[in-house]
Structure 1
Amino acid sequence: MNTNIILYVSIGCVVLLAVWLGLIELRLKKIFRGKKAGDLEEVMRSLGEDLKNLNISREKTENYLKEVEKRLKKSLKQVGIVRFNPFGAGSGQGSNQSFSIALLDEIGNGAVISALYMRDNIKIYAKPVTEYKSEYSLSEEENEAIRKNKTSQ
């Protein structure tokens, strides 16, 4: 009788081990599902290659963003505009149709454009600006347009 018990216990252990092995195999199939690789080493190699490609892509993106930031510093950022009456408020002539507009980048380089509206003509002036200053004399309105541009950034 002892041999029968030993036999049944042994068969039971073999069945339990077979079920356990089947469950482990199912879990491994879930891990490798969708992969052509048959072993863990190939999966790890593939993941390493993907990580390497991702790092290369990240470096390229960082370099591209640095170039974009450099270009953005040189592009038009804000516009400072001042409307005014060139003849004075109490002159009875004209209205606030004249203007000065500062078109500058982040560093303060660009131009200030002024348009003076008069009854029979319009005069337009453009003056280059470097670091918020111009080599030409600026009117009060042009300086105010540059100040507005500078403070709005």
Structure 2
Amino acid sequence: MAGMLVDQQIILYILAGATAILLVWAISQEVRLRRLLRGKHGRSLEEIINTLSEKSLEFDRAKDIIHGHIETLSNKTRQSVRGVGIVRFNAFSESGGNQSFAAAFLNEKGDGIIVSSLHSRERVATYAKPISDNASEYELLDEEKEAIRLAQEQHNI
């Protein structure tokens, strides 16, 4: 009987020791959790998550604004001059030095203008013709057609 009492006391001490160890472990876990939730500089984890959520919304709004600007710039770029073709030539047999020229300025759609300057001994004449879809409603010189072709090749228009 006395041996049984000693066995019960040993079991009781073991249980008390295990309880003390578990209590110390639980307290240390509670301290770690509070430290985690409190965060650096006294900010709680909830405050940090809320701040990050607000920043994420700000980034989304900024992304949408930037996307709109990119779309606007892309549309403007399509309308800007993307291809330039220049051909120098002698307009008249008595003049030399290839002083006459035809210059085509086209956007992505093949719209633009062709400027031609015809040089002779007595005068210089300059003409401008509108270009729509790589063609003009006005008759074009061979050199003007060549300038349009060069402008098309420059940016695969």
Alignment partner for residue 136 of structure 2, among 125, 134, 137? 134
Match for 2:121: what amino acid? R
- For the pair 1:60 / 2:62, whether they are aligned, the reply is no
Q: CA RMSD in A?
A: 2.7
Task: Report the Cα offset of residue 95 of structure 1.
Answer: 2.0
With over 3 angstroms needed to count, the CA separation of the structure-2 counterparts of 1:23 and 1:45, relative to structure 1, is closer
Q: Answer with 131-140 or 103-112: which moved more.
A: 103-112
Residue 108 of structure 1 and its aligned partner are, at CA, apart by: 0.9
Task: List structure 1 segments (4+ residues) > 4 angstroms apart after TM superposition.
Answer: 11-29
Question: Identity of paired residues, percent?
Answer: 30
Q: Secondary structure at the match of 2:108?
A: coil
Q: Which residue of 1 aligns with 2:13?
A: none
Give unmatched runs, 5+ long, in structure 1: 1-10
Q: In structure 2, the residue corresponding to 1:143 is in which secondary structure?
A: helix
- Match of residue 121 from structure 2: 119
Q: Deviations over 1:125-149 (max 9, x none)?
A: 1100001100000000000000000
Task: Identify which range, 15-24 or 107-116, moves more after superposition.
Answer: 15-24
Task: Name structure 2 gaps, 5 residues minimum.
Answer: 1-19
Selected match of 1:76 from 81, 94, 97: 81
Q: For residue 62 of structure 1, give the secondary structure of its aligned residue in structure 2.
A: helix
Bigger-Rg structure (1/2) = 2
Q: Which residue of 1 aligns with 2:91?
A: 86
* 1:59 Cα deviation from its structure 2 partner: 1.0
SS of the aligned residue for 1:115 comes to strand
For residue 149 of structure 1, give the secondary structure of its aligned residue in structure 2.
helix
Q: CA shift at 1:28, angstroms?
A: 7.1
Q: Secondary structure at the match of 1:133?
A: coil
Provide the TM-score with structure 2 as the length reference.
0.73
